[in-house]
Amino acid sequence: MGIRALVIDDNKEIQNVFSELLYFNNVEVVGKGSNGQEAVELYKKLHPDIVFIDAMMPEYNGFYGLEKIREYDPKSTIVLVTGSINVEDEIDGCGASAILPKPIDMAKIMNVVKKFCIH
């Protein structure tokens, strides 16, 4: 497995299902977190190839994590995952590498992985 990922979601069940799906598609999940602040800490510690982060989480949301990781590493690949269509205003210009809707669609996820992580 060459591609290393972080999965950030406040829902542990989604975290686990997402991680399992990635694993079965040869993407190693090196860390999991429950909010934007954990995403930043894990990113700095683990330096993954790609981050999948939920947009809407309590306390520190995905936009916070996205912004702080970008400050630390402007070249980072961050995929915003959202179950809400009400965040479109925030999503415009948020700087995410890609935006994926929930429920999780493995084909779309792997297209994003291939686009950004396989050279």
Q: What is the pLDDT of residues 7-25, one digit of tens each?
A: 999 999 999 999 999 999 9
Mean pLDDT, rounded, for 92-98 = 78
Q: Tell me the mean pLDDT in the region 61-67.
A: 94
Domain span including residue 89: 3-117
pLDDT score of 58: 86
pTM assigned to the model: 0.90
- Structural domains of the chain, count: 1
Say whether the peptide bond before residue 58 is cis (omega within 30 degrees of 0): no
Which CATH number do you get for residue 89?
A: 3.40.50.2300
State residue 89's pLDDT score: 53
* Residues 27, 51 contacting (CB under 8 angstroms): no
